[in-house]
């Protein structure tokens, strides 16, 4: 976890503040392209029919983070080789910290599945294998995309040339803490909120009033399904108006979120902000700095929005989303690629 945090800080900050790190950020696409090729090669004919779609298929821009039936190839329906290749592909988009969060989300889902069966539910709605995938295009082409979607974990990845982006990305947990087993007490989304609490507690009363952008925490995140094109709103306390200690905490909070992604992916995802809008970032906090009471925070830049919400089920139901309207589902780069390819037909 510590090493992933250091990587995250390196991505976000440098000695001069929030400017880009020195040198050209590493390209991530080669790593993911290799894992994508292994995934596609692992598929049987029946699996290919469920998982593979053309790049311009409308399913590519759909997503849904709640329980329920969905299209695609489920983990539960894969043979062992395909499941291993799928998990390796997902892992390639994530850092060590991101992979641990993804593992803990599935631990919570598995516990809920056991409890659901014990309650007599015959059709499962919880489970660590109720995640469905689609692959759009071909790994050896100039552009392709991949999605994995299920309860409390949605990852949309897109590759255009040498660049990988992973947005929108959604994570959640209910309960917010693992209730039993070897991981008891661990919180899948716990690392970031602790930093957010520390920052919120550091605010002076005038700052707190600016950061409190609404009267009460919203019922859910506001930049999720159906809001993919919604531009960031620079509401809350600006980094420029913070003390040096508070700026360091905000940098650390963003680093925790960015540090969930593989380093090259995170670099690509942050590049437009770092190079065009560095230091333009706001922090909003509404609610209590208490894990057991409703709370909500938002990081906003001109490029992307990160939200965290814990309001339902006595604040034990947590949602977090990263949304970048210019890069969601491959964004402007993938749209341009599709326009060029369609023009050739």
Residue 143 in this model has a pLDDT that exceeds 80: yes
**DSSP state for residue 43 in the 8-state scheme:** -
Classified as helix, coil or strand, 164 is strand
**What pLDDT sits at residue 27?**
52
| ∠ CA 34-35-39, rounded to 5° | 120
Q: Looking at residues 163-187, what average pLDDT do you find? A: 95
Q: What is the dihedral of CA 165, 228, 324, 141, to 10 degrees?
A: 20
Of 11-20, 59-68, 119-128, 211-220, the poorest mean pLDDT is in 11-20
pLDDT in tens, 199-238: 999 999 999 999 999 999 998 899 887 777 789 999 999 9
CA distances for 159 relative to 79, 210, 244, 331, angstroms: 26, 38, 37, 10
Q: In which band, very low, low, confident or very high, does the pLDDT at 343 lie, cut at 50, 70 and 90?
A: low
Helices assigned H by DSSP within the chain: 2-12, 29-42, 45-51, 80-92, 96-118, 190-202, 205-211, 244-258, 263-277, 331-344
pLDDT, tens digit, 9 for 90 and up, residues 275-333: 889 889 999 999 999 999 999 999 999 999 999 999 887 888 999 999 999 889 887 66
| Cα–Cα dist 117/327, whole Å | 40
What percent of the chain is modeled with pLDDT above 70? 90
Vertex 319, ends 210 and 180: CA angle to 5°? 125
Distance CA 328, CA 322 (A): 9
Q: Rg for the chain (alpha carbons), in Å?
A: 20
pLDDT category at 16 given cuts 50, 70, 90 is very low
Q: Which two tokens stand for residue 242?
A: 């913070």
| Euclidean distance between CA atoms 207 and 336, whole angstroms | 42
Q: How far is CA 13 from the centre of its chain?
A: 20
Query: Residue 12: is its pLDDT beyond 70?
Result: no
Indicate the Cα dihedral angle 208, 212, 217, 222, nearest 10°: -130
Share of the chain above pLDDT 90, in %: 71
124 vs 341, residue with greater confidence: 124
Higher pLDDT, 160 or 21: 160
Region of poorest pLDDT, from 21-25, 184-188, 191-195:
21-25
Query: pLDDT confidence of 33, banded at 50, 70, 90?
Result: very high
pLDDT at 22 over 70: no
> To the nearest whole number, what is the mean pLDDT of the chain?
89
Domain positions in the chain: 2-340
- pLDDT above 90 (res 344): no
Confidence category of residue 111, pLDDT binned at 50, 70, 90: very high
**What pLDDT score does 65 carry?**
86
pLDDT value for 215: 95
Residue 278: CB partners within 8 Å, gap ≥ 6? 17, 18, 19, 20
Tell me the pairing of strands 131-137 and 52-53.
parallel
Lowest-pLDDT choice from 79-83, 151-155, 159-163, 179-183: 159-163
125-141 pLDDT per residue, tens = 999 999 999 999 999 99
CA distance 69 to 296: 29
pLDDT grade for 6, boundaries at 50, 70 and 90: very low
Separation between Cα atoms, residue 116 and residue 215, nearest integer Å: 36
């Amino acid at each position: 976890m510590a090493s992933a945090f250091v990587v995250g800080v390196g991505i976000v900050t440098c000695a001069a503040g929030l400017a880009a790190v020195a040198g050209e950020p590493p390209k991530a696409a080669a790593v993911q392209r290799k894992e994508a090729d292994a995934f596609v090669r692992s598929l049987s004919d029946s699996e290919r029919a469920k998982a593979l779609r053309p790049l311009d298929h409308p399913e590519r821009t759909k997503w849904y983070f709640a329980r329920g039936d969905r299209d695609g190839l489920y983990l539960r329906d894969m043979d062992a080789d395909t499941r291993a290749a799928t998990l390796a592909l997902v892992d390639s988009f994530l850092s060590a910290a991101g992979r641990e969060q993804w593992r803990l989300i599935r631990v919570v889902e598995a516990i809920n599945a056991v409890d659901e069966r014990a309650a007599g539910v015959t059709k499962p709605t919880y489970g660590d294998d109720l995640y469905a995938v689609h692959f759009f295009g071909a790994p050896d082409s100039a552009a392709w995309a991949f999605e994995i979607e299920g309860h409390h974990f949605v990852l949309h990845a897109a590759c255009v040339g040498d660049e990988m982006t992973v947005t929108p990305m959604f994570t959640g947990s209910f309960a917010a803490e693992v209730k039993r087993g070897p991981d008891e007490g661990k919180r899948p989304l716990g690392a970031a909120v602790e930093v957010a609490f520390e920052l919120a507690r550091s605010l002076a009363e005038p700052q707190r009033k600016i950061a409190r952008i609404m009267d009460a925490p919203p019922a859910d995140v506001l930049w999720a399904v159906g809001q993919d094109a919604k531009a960031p709103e620079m509401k809350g306390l600006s980094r420029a108006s913070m003390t040096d200690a508070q700026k360091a905490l905000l940098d650390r909070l963003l680093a925790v979120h960015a540090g969930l992604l593989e380093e090259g992916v995170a670099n690509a995802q942050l590049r437009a902000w770092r190079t065009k809008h560095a230091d333009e970032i706001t922090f909003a906090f509404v609610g209590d700095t208490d894990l057991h009471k409703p709370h909500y925070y938002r990081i906003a830049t001109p490029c992307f929005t990160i939200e965290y919400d814990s309001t339902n089920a006595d604040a034990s139901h947590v949602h977090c989303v990263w949304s970048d309207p210019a890069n969601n589902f491959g964004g402007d780069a993938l749209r341009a690629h599709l326009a060029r390819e369609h023009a050739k037909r």
